[in-house]
Chains A and B, each alone.
Chain A
């Protein structure tokens, strides 16, 4: 046995007193609150034909409570920090609510875009829209992932529908979501470093901010830490 073997043995030596067992009931309770209804859209049909597309309903991770209590009142209208290359379309050929937000991320399937889309879920009467990620190529718009709130209102203060950070159709879809409130900055930390999200105000409701992270900085949702929103004065809007 050499020194390194000895170190490894020491690292793996069980503690004298066993660690407390995780609280499984609490894990499931808290984890359920973090889940989001999401749909990975399969096939090649455009969003206009989404109703005919097979929807695989699974759950996604949300890093925050859906509606954290604000620690400060949202201020008057703020100017949102623009993304490096945001593009919007005022005349989408699809039933998007508000403008389609371009992320500037180009892929063989087209630019990755984000847009709100109506949802109608009887058991969720206060959820009227979700956020879709998709591809835009010319006039074609194709959704690949749709995420929506599952608790309370889709416009309650706080983060909603955070999703993405995974490869779908051979393309890494960035971590995205929306914040209901006048956020001027949204951050997370990855590997101990603060990372800023790109922001775009939702044109259908100026109190909602759509955000996404650069996949190079946030390659997957596992590396995220809880999102934080700030107002234009730099004051934290969320705990």
Chain B
């Protein structure tokens, strides 16, 4: 195997779980998530020579997110919410099974854009400016969408910028 291919194989091993997990959060479907990850890695491999020394992970993430979004109804569903979820108990990481089930259910209630913002912002830890760039919307839209999504999730985050420190996107 060529050196570049070895590097790519290592890249896939190191990042596949996280990217597939993100795809699952975006789609709510395991098979779609695995297919999206496969597609993202395929296109990243095609561009490997020019992204391997840059931000290969960011490239793969962007391909993944746009691939998933492309599979949704276009443009973004802005009015997909049916009914706000009943008030949930506050999240408790100790109740992992219940929490996972709740998360899966409640993410489906969010609109596509809300779900995308939540995943990019709170799963990938991307700063709002980068979320805006990834989704092709304004920072203001990211802020308002994030706020609306958290409200649906019954999350109190008076100042999420202070809460989410880092923003490495990794």
Residues of A participating in the B interface, judged by any CB pair closer than 8 Å: 1-16, 18-24, 26-28, 30-32, 34-35, 58-63, 166, 189-194, 220-225
Smallest beta-carbon distance B35→chain A, Å: 10
Interface residues of B in 55-73 (CB under 8 A from A): 59, 62-63, 66-67, 69-70, 72
Name, among B5, B8, B43, B118, the residue most crowded by chain A CB atoms within 10 Å (CB to CB): B43
28 A-B residue pairs with Cβ-Cβ distance under 8 Å, sorted by A, are: A4-B157, A6-B90, A6-B91, A6-B92, A7-B122, A9-B91, A11-B103, A11-B123, A13-B93, A13-B99, A16-B97, A19-B24, A22-B16, A22-B20, A22-B37, A26-B42, A28-B5, A28-B45, A31-B42, A31-B43, A32-B46, A59-B49, A59-B50, A61-B43, A192-B76, A222-B59, A223-B62, A225-B67
**A222 touching B70, Cβ below 8 Å:** no
**A27 touching B12, Cβ below 8 Å:** yes
Interface residues of B in 1-34 (CB under 8 A from A): 5, 8-9, 12, 16-17, 20-21, 24-25, 30, 33-34
Smallest beta-carbon distance B157→chain A, Å: 5
**B38 touching A191, Cβ below 8 Å:** no
- Complex Cα gap A13–B92 (Å): 12
For the complex, would chain B's binding face be called helix, strand, loop or mixed by DSSP majority? helix
Name, among A8, A12, A191, A220, the residue most crowded by chain B CB atoms within 10 Å (CB to CB): A191
Among B66, B90, B157, B164, contact of A191 (Cβ-Cβ < 8 Å): B66
In the complex, chain A residues whose CB is within 8 Å of the CB of B96:
13
**A3 touching B43, Cβ below 8 Å:** no
Smallest beta-carbon distance B113→chain A, Å: 9
- Complex Cα gap A58–B45 (Å): 12
Among A9, A34, A63, A193, contact of B74 (Cβ-Cβ < 8 Å): A193
> B139 at interface (Cβ–Cβ under 8 A)?
no
Q: Given A6-B91, A10-B103, are A19 and B20 also a contact pair (CB < 8 Å)?
A: yes
